[in-house]
Structure 1
């Protein structure tokens, strides 16, 4: 089974993935909108940082697209928003950081709107993962956490995917048992990478309602630079 794929920035994504996969997409993890007043009710003092846990996100959270946040910030591209996010969490070195974009983002992220899931696969992707992994007749999915050397098979159910996402380390790779599709988190980022053996990946991405960028021969994992 597929246990790990390390994507480095020296060559395009499509040149690094296993040869049986013909297409790839970068999926933008949605921002998280909690109900109005949620943060105020949870906060014990003015200095406490509140972020919803997985269960709270699933029960009360609403997915907010990057495009909507881009519009509120006045950003023109997904890359600008990515640079703002990465700068704000300290994931970019000084020469690559964009403090100007991060300041604009901070000014527009307030109240009960939260950053996307960092390092992990978003809870908002669970329903579509159930559909994709079971589309080819697979009944089970395979998960691998290379950092903690944990892997195994589980039935393709919403509950099992929730359990894996809740307990997973920062690096996680998921695939259906026939290995037609791969879904993986990317460390220090707010994206996931999706791989497919089918060349018509754009059709699948649209059917699943994912906000995404389809990779071509010049798309690198640091696509925003």
Structure 2
């Protein structure tokens, strides 16, 4: 089975993936909107860092697009928002960091609006995960967590996907049983990578309602620089 792929920034994504995969997509994990007053009710003191857990996100959270946050911040591109996010979590070196963008982001993402899930596949993607993983008739999916050397097959159910996403470490790969489609988390980021074999990827992205960027021959994993 396909194991986790470490995508470096030395060559384009399409140069690094197995040859049978003809398309790659960067999926933007949605921001998380909790009900009004949720953060204040959860906070015990002013210094406490509050972030909803997976169950709270599924039960009460709503997905907020990058485009909506870009509009609030006055950003013109997804790359500017990615730079702001990466800077704010300390994932960029000094020469690449954009403190000005991070400050704008902090000013607009506060209260009951939270950053996307970092390092992980978003819970908001579970409905489309179920559709894509069973798209070609598969009734099971394969998961692999290289950090814990944990892998296996499970039936494609919402409960099983929830369990895998909840328990996964920062590196996770999901494929259908036929390995036609691949979902990968990306460490220190707010995106996932999706790979496909011979599919009209633009049509699939639109059908799934993903906010995404189709990779071309010049797209690197550090696409925002």
TM > 0.5 fold call: yes
1:179-218 matched pairs, under 5 angstroms:
179-218=179-218
CA displacement at 1:198 relative to structure 2: 2.2
CA displacement at 1:199 relative to structure 2: 3.9
Structure 1 partner of 2:220: 220
RMSD over aligned Cα atoms: 0.5
CA displacement at 1:136 relative to structure 2: 0.4
Listed one character per residue, the Cα deviations across residues 12-61 of structure 1 (whole Å, up to 9, x for unaligned) are: 00010001100000000000000000001111111111000000000000
Structure 1 partner of 2:117: 117
Structure 2 partner of 1:23: 23
SS of the residue corresponding to residue 129 of structure 1 reads helix
1:42-53 matched pairs, under 5 angstroms:
42-53=42-53
Structure 2: gaps (5+ residues): none
SS of the residue corresponding to residue 121 of structure 1 reads coil
Structure 1 partner of 2:176: 176
SS of the residue corresponding to residue 170 of structure 2 reads coil
Structure 2 partner of 1:54: 54
1:97-108 matched pairs, under 5 angstroms:
97-108=97-108
Structure 2 partner of 1:137: 137
Structure 2 partner of 1:128: 128
SS of the residue corresponding to residue 41 of structure 1 reads helix
What TM-score comes out, normalization by structure 1 length?
0.99
Structure 1: gaps (5+ residues): none
Q: 1:115 & 1:52 partners in 2: Cα distance?
A: 10
Alignment length (residue pairs): 225
CA displacement at 1:79 relative to structure 2: 0.2
